[in-house]
Chains A and B, each alone.
Chain A
Amino acid sequence: MRGRYSSLACAAIFCSAVFAAANDTFLIRNVDVYPVSSAPQQNVSLLVQDGKIAEIGAKITAPKGIRIVEGKGLRVYPGMIDSGTNLGLSEVSAERVTVDTNELGEFMPQLRALIAVNPDSEHIPVSRVNGITSAVTYPGGGRGGRGGAGAQIIAGQAALIHLAGWTWEQMEISPDAAVQVIFPSIGGGGRGGENADFPDPAAFGGAAQSYTERKRQYDQAIQRLNDFFDAARQYQKERAANAAGFKRDLKMEAMIPVLEGKVPVAVTAQQERQIRDAIAFAEKQHVRMVLIQPRQALKVAAELKAKNIPVILGRTEALPENEDAPYDQAESLPGELHKAGVKFAFGTFSNEFVRNLPYNAARAVAYGLPHDEGLKAVTINAAEIWGVSDKIGSIEKGKWADLMITNGDPLETPTQIKHLYIKGQEIELTNKQIQLYERYSKRP
């Protein structure tokens, strides 16, 4: 996508303390390569040059004096991508002063998550030592959302970032991976707020407002959303015509890439009704959509497949949506969606649990998702959905060397990460937690 990709100059700045070595050219040998995009290759070598994957094979002629990383008995995988986080924007979720998500204002596409990413957030090194090398960080959602009246509908621009860098500019992969839309909901976003089976609030512990009233507010909110897009399209026309008296508007400017189809909308919609209405909205507005955390996606799977709408699934470590739902509803959903031919990646929709991203994929595998699809859903699928599969997501020639070297299957908890690389730079496998561990292990 658009943006400033790494130049050599950038790579040169990208160095010292964060990385154990400033050298982004090296050879991993005798290693089992799991490219994700193709079949694993046993006991081969992998050459990284200038931060990019240069070659994979049994016989590689490496430049003389190149740094060798011994990979005997180890495996190398692409670094994982978490498609749902607030990394860099939220530190201690219960303390609002440390949280920068959820700005005021209903339609705020001009807000940029990227510029609020704190590169020194402790969540970043804690997440990456478990093999997560990049993440989508959203301007809204997560805990600390305001909900109810005045809730956001367009929260701003979500960014795809590398989990390493001195500044947010160095972390940037895609500054506007998507514009985040929190689709209106009948229940105001609360649990059990909507259930089409029982259109009677009395059946749900007596909601304050009648169903009719909530439905009216819901329809109005969708209308405002469509009006906003219509206004943006009108602005786009006036801008193109360069009409006299044309005034630049930052909100509207932020909508242009969406209207041009360069940037998708990432639409949070959980319930079947919301999902169907979101699909109708995206079609009406001719925008690309990525569906976020659609818990009832299975009921709409055929449409999602037919319309090629990709999905970001939330944690499989989640309770069923109601008492009647099967106990393994969240665990089974990825496998069922895969069978239905829907494309998806995983997000943890947290900061604290980003490091457990692979275990969410594993839980889906336990309940029916093929193992290689589980891996894809935390690597290449995410890269494809966010439009960066030419850069990250698999071990292929020409891509950035975002790599993890492990002693086993990364979807299994006891597996240890032995080396980690972001853009070919070795990441020191430490963080505040490991430092506390080391310090207090030495307490006399």
Chain B
Amino acid sequence: MKTFLAFLLACAPLGAEVTVIKNATIMTESARGTIKGSVLVRDGKIAEVGENVMIPAGATVIDASGQWVIPGIIDCHSHIAVDGNVNEGSVSVSSMVNIKDVINPEDIAIYRALAGGVTTANILHGSANSIGGQTIVIKMRWGKDAQGLIFEGATPGIKFALGENPKRAGNPQPGGRGPAAPLRYPATRMGVEDTIREAFNEAKQYKAEWDAYDAAVKAGQHPLPPRKDLKLEPLKEVLEGKRFVHAHCYRADEILMLIRIADDYGFKIKTFQHVLEGYKVADEIAAHGAGASTFSDWWAYKMEAIDAIPYNAAMMAKKGIVVSLNSDDAELMRRLNTEAAKAMKYGGISREDALAMVTINPAKQLAIDNRVGSIEPGKDADLVIYDQDPLSNFSKVQKVLIDGNKYFDRDQEVSGRPRKEAEKQKLIEMEKQQQRIPTGGRRGQ
């Protein structure tokens, strides 16, 4: 472990040990609110925040005069950095598969997300199954390998999905291409409920077998262990509170349905995702203690999004629900700061509370708020510097730090473009030259 740490430190850019961002307007998203001053970063952590911060000798100083600093943005619903299809759609319950196994650290979407101020994202399996695959939280450490992206210690999750998407494979596809695929249960919201109940009925028995085994071992006996079931293992973890449920949902009826399943089987829904009709059952969601991660203003792209309203986030927040705004999209992901501004427009949320919906609130929903989501001493130095008010549509990300290391710098990006373009042209020329060589074989075979 020590050698590994030494390796990590060796990899860190020079001068990353102590950095001071000074003269900035800092939206701390903590009890301190918004202040003018400095952030001192030491060894990847925020060491000090305040109006008057002493600059240690040898520190890297970033003068952010006229600029704004916010905590790194957290996207609670993303599918970037996934190698290939995000859906294992062949079965109604695909809890045995794990997004962690297919993280692609070279996805350009990671860099683009960085350029939009995102430092952490919840990477989810798709929504083709009532119970989908396992999920993982990553940091946008562009340049690191797959292991290096994973948010150390973050509780893993599992995707559930309700409504139209999990039903789709159970209904004939009009105009579908290719030979007709066999229909897959379920085809209705009734079937979605049953699928989830059947799975937890199994999981509960499975857990009972293991609990009995564990108790026997504890009592000094030597029983045979039950057979390990890779489908039920993650559901057992859900029942034990060791794995979070992130449930894709739209309509009020299905939200309520899942709350009741969770009540019956004794587990919690950590977040309702999309949850576009959450405003209709906000009391029930609040009573269950689930978070809600929604779109700011997407609607009408499908039938179950027809009653979506942009006031959803504000209405749920007013009922005491921890609300985040997510992207579910590599493009939208790059501008979650201005998505937060929509919570100000629709429902009158304050500036700080609006920005919280893309910083500290998603951190709470993922239970990583001890590490990220606000600018407070002891937390990871995941910081974004904007040229102006980040809730303004005119703002641009200037720099992004993760663990105190700079991963994005707009000035460097822009000044480096001519060199990259020249390099690209050179490669194209080389490619063209190669194509002209009259050989029998073809490339890429």
| A→B interface (CB under 8 Å) | 91-95, 122-123, 126, 197-198, 200, 202-203, 317-320, 323-324, 326-328, 351-352, 355-356, 359, 362-363, 365-367, 411-416, 433-434, 436-437, 440-441, 443
Contact = CB atoms under 8 A, between A and B. Distances in A.
A413 B444 contact: no
Contacts, number: 107
Contacts of B442: 202
10 contacts: A319-B331, A351-B300, A352-B299, A355-B297, A359-B393, A362-B393, A365-B393, A412-B341, A412-B394, A437-B311
Contacts of A414: 341, 344-345, 391
Interface in B360-410: 391-396
Interface string B282-309: 0100000000000001111111011111
Q: How large is the interface on B (under 10, 10 to 19, 20 to 34, 35 or more residues)?
A: 35 or more
B301 A366 contact: no
A151 B417 CA distance: 38
Q: Which secondary structure characterizes the binding site on chain A?
A: loop
A440 B341 contact: no
A94 B303 contact: yes
Nearest to B301: A93
B252 to A, nearest CB: 9
A441 to B, nearest CB: 7
**Chain A to chain B: the 8 pairs with minimum beta-carbon distance, closest first:** A362-B393, A413-B341, A433-B309, A94-B302, A437-B311, A414-B344, A202-B444, A327-B115
A363 B444 CA distance: 40
A327 B112 contact: yes
Contact of A92 (B112, B301, B309, B347): B301
A440 B280 contact: yes
Contact of A198 (B298, B303, B431): B431
B335 interface: yes
Contacts of A202: 442-445
A123 B331 contact: no
A53 to B, nearest CB: 28
B354 to A, nearest CB: 9
A203 B306 contact: no
A92 B306 contact: yes
B279 interface: yes
B322 to A, nearest CB: 19
Contact of B279 (A326, A356, A440): A440
A92 B108 CA distance: 31
A42 to B, nearest CB: 22
B393 A411 contact: yes
A323 B111 CA distance: 10
A363 B445 CA distance: 43
Contacts of B315: 437, 440-441
Given A412-B393, A413-B345, A414-B345, A327 B338 contact: no
Contacts of B251: none
Given A92-B301, A197-B428, A413-B338, A366 B444 contact: no
B331 A413 contact: no
